[in-house]
A and B are shown apart, each in its own frame.
Chain A
Amino acid sequence: DIQMTQSPSAVSASVGDTVTIACRASEDINTFLAWFQQKPGKVPKRLIYATYRLQDGVPSRFSGSGSGTEFTLTITSLQPEDLATYYCLQHRHYPFTFGPGTKVDLK
């Protein structure tokens, strides 16, 4: 099975900061990588698919990059409503696997 790791596990940032979350796959997954945002007590929401494609309605301050085994989610100019846990997901091979999550909160 493909293992997914994320770093950091948590980050505290101020409004307006740029936040970068890294996701690593244990083997090459091409660009079969998606990012999800989950606010406390809420349903996960897809932010980015195919590594860099922004889901309709998602603010352009979110962006994704990478390929192969190394991927990044960047939040430019962090907003209070971005406080959440972010998960990466590989869907190159079954079983699909999520990363452990990165919790973003306000400093």
Chain B
Amino acid sequence: DAGVTQSPTHLIKTRGQHVTLRCSPISGHKSVSWYQQVLGQGPQFIFQYYEKEERGRGNFPDRFSARQFPNYSSELNVNALLLGDSALYLCASSRSGALSYNEQFFGPGTRLTVL
């Protein structure tokens, strides 16, 4: 069975540009969560989507947005990139909506570098 997949694996952008990251959950999983992991830190929660609706949002600016499609895949968009947005962006899927109650399965991540 395929695990969580993310694309692209690596991305280099310049300040002010925007970026779109993509995630496909494990088949049968309806929840997708996005995390930002800066070097040397643990992952920080950005968004959760469940059944195509936003279910939770972390402490990130409005430059960050996301959506979930009918097939439960998801996109994370970041506008007006800053140097500080350079990080590994992780996607996690789970069967249902409650993050606390459901085991999270993580994808390999997208490494974003902002120059």
Chain A bound to chain B: no
